[in-house]
Structure 1
Amino acid sequence: APAERREVWKNLDILPISAYNEAFDAYHRTCVGTDGDWESNMKQFLRCGLAFTFTGVVAADIATDALFGQGGRRTSKVNIGALKKG
């Protein structure tokens, strides 16, 4: 993520440590019941989302681009005749 975005996450206290840590912490807060504050739980869920995005989704995207090259825009024709009333 860009440095300015990481700074925003840090100021909001949602900068993730690692995917494992965030998932474990979210599980512990909700299932064990160590945190009942909704704002704290929402911040934890946002940290989980960021950790998942940057460890799973972005990593897979980088790997796909490395293996197959970056994708380009394509134009295609689509038959949407099934949407006509009749």
Structure 2
Amino acid sequence: MDDDFKQYRLPDDDNGSWILSTISRIGLDEFTEQESKVTAALDKLKPGKFYDLHDLPEEKREMFIRLSCLYIRSHPEVAFSNDYSRIEKLKTV
């Protein structure tokens, strides 16, 4: 099993092209529903806790990671591990 999920990361210079192509592929309603689920999951994450992305079904991993990248842009307290196999809410001091 490949433990490195960096290939699913949303490039910093994406500028919305992934969002547009995904919406055209799956539809706006499905995209919005998936984004809402990821946002809710990350909002519920407690400081110092993490999600192990190995626990996600493989077919959901890329979407979760890319939507999480969007979430992190406005939530700097949430971060991926270096290999993108975990996402955690950092403890604030």
- Global fold match (TM > 0.5): no
TM-score if structure 1 supplies the norm length?
0.32
TM-score normalized with structure 2 length: 0.31
Q: Name the structure where helix makes up a greater proportion of residues.
A: 1
Select the structure of larger CA radius of gyration. 1
Q: RCO (CA 8 Å, sep 6+): is it higher in 1 or 2?
A: 2
